[in-house]
């Protein structure tokens, strides 16, 4: 037997075993494992492969479908769970649940990262750990669940993933963290919060930024992110979580000079 063919066949069998195991975790209909495999097939997997006249079955169309199903079902749950919340507040709640980082975290918990089919270049560039790739895979799996099992199965899956978090949402979870921090400080001080870039590192395609949130010269907290804006939001979030440490100084003293 051709060694390359044998190796390829072994890899394919191992991957289908991962898909089968994942189907059990997700309660995915066994008769549609092909759809689950498609949901976990990154478009780059087909780079350099012969396609013929048939469109390759990557996960982009299922991702599109899953995005719509997510918005509908998460929106429906929040609408019923928070009858006094206005439209804008509900939109913010939904946005924090279906944001990239939230979906990527759930994808990793479910093991979608290990089951992804990636191209060689995509694998080498770290796409298996990239939040955007993981979030897309999660959306595609939701789309596949809807396609294979219908709306109720997709609903039960999403409730299992997010219900506990949705039930305990507060303004600090979904309101803009920088705005909340600014409001918190300005209850006691005429001087607001400023942000400084403390560090930046990493390759151009995957940089990491570190920013600090300051009240005058007092560092309230720092945070990291894949963009300067994201790192500032992370710093504000960290400052809000640790406000009991610095708020007494803000209450007691007038703003410090820069």
Say which CATH number the domain at 226 has. Answer: 3.30.160.20
Whether residues 243 and 143 fall in one domain: no
* CATH code at position 134: 1.10.1520.10
According to DSSP, the residues that pair with 211 across neighbouring strands are 197, 223
Whether residues 91 and 139 fall in one domain: yes
Respond yes or no: is residue 67 known to be catalytic.
Answer: yes
List, in sequence order, the alpha helices (H) in 191-227. Answer: none
Whether residues 196 and 164 fall in one domain: no
8 is a domain residue: no
3 is a domain residue: no
Respond yes or no: is residue 139 known to be catalytic.
Answer: yes
**b/e map of 117-141 (b: 16 or more CB within 10 Å)?**
bbbeebeeeebbebbebbbbbbbbb
- What pLDDT is recorded for position 206? 77
Whether residues 112 and 207 fall in one domain: no
- What pLDDT is recorded for position 254? 57
pTM of the model: 0.70
- What pLDDT is recorded for position 11? 61
Whether residues 133 and 191 fall in one domain: no
The boundaries of the domain holding residue 81 are 13-168
Going from the C-alpha of 234 to that of each of 2, 170, 227, the distances in angstroms are 52, 17, 11
- What pLDDT is recorded for position 258? 42
- What pLDDT is recorded for position 108? 94
Catalytic residue among 63, 67, 127, 147: 67
| Count of structural domains, the chain | 2
- What pLDDT is recorded for position 55? 56
Whether residues 204 and 153 fall in one domain: no
- What pLDDT is recorded for position 180? 87
- Which mean pLDDT values do the consecutive 10-residue runs of the chain (258 residues) have? 50 76 88 92 75 70 97 97 94 91 93 88 83 93 96 96 94 83 91 95 85 95 91 92 92 61
257 is a domain residue: no
- What pLDDT is recorded for position 21? 87
Please name which of 142, 64, 72 lies closest in space to residue 103, comparing C-alpha atoms: 142
Residue with tokens 């607001």: 192
Whether residues 58 and 164 fall in one domain: yes
If one counts every other C-beta atom within 10 angstroms of the C-beta of residue 246, the result is: 17
Q: Would you say 102 and 96 are in contact if contact means Cβ atoms under 8 Å apart?
A: yes
Catalytic residue among 63, 139, 147, 232: 139
């Amino acid at each position: 037997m051709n060694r390359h063919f044998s190796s390829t066949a072994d890899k394919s069998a191992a991957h289908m075993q991962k898909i089968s195991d994942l189907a059990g975790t997700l309660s995915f209909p066994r008769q549609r494992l092909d759809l689950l495999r498609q949901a976990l097939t990154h478009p780059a997997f087909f780079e350099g492969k012969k396609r013929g006249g048939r469109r390759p079955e990557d996960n982009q169309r299922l991702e599109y479908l899953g995005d719509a199903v997510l918005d509908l079902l998460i929106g429906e749950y929040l609408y019923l769970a928070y009858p006094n919340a206005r439209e804008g507040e509900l939109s913010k709640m939904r946005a924090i649940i279906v944001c990239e980082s939230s979906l990527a975290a759930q994808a990793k918990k479910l093991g979608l990262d290990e089951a992804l089919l990636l191209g060689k270049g995509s694998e080498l560039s770290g796409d298996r750990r990239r939040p955007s790739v993981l979030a897309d895979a999660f959306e595609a799996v939701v789309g596949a669940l809807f396609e294979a099992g219908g709306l109720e199965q997709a609903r039960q899956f999403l409730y299992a993933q997010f219900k506990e978090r949705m039930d305990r949402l507060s303004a600090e979870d979904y309101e803009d963290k920088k705005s909340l921090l600014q409001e918190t400080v300005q209850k006691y001080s005429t001087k607001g919060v400023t942000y400084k870039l403390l560090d930046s590192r990493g390759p151009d395609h995957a940089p990491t930024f570190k920013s600090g949130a300051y009240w005058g010269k007092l560092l309230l907290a720092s945070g990291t992110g894949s963009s300067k804006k994201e790192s500032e939001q992370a710093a504000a979030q960290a400052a809000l979580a640790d406000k009991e440490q610095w708020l007494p100084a803000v209450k007691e003293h007038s703003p410090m000079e820069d």
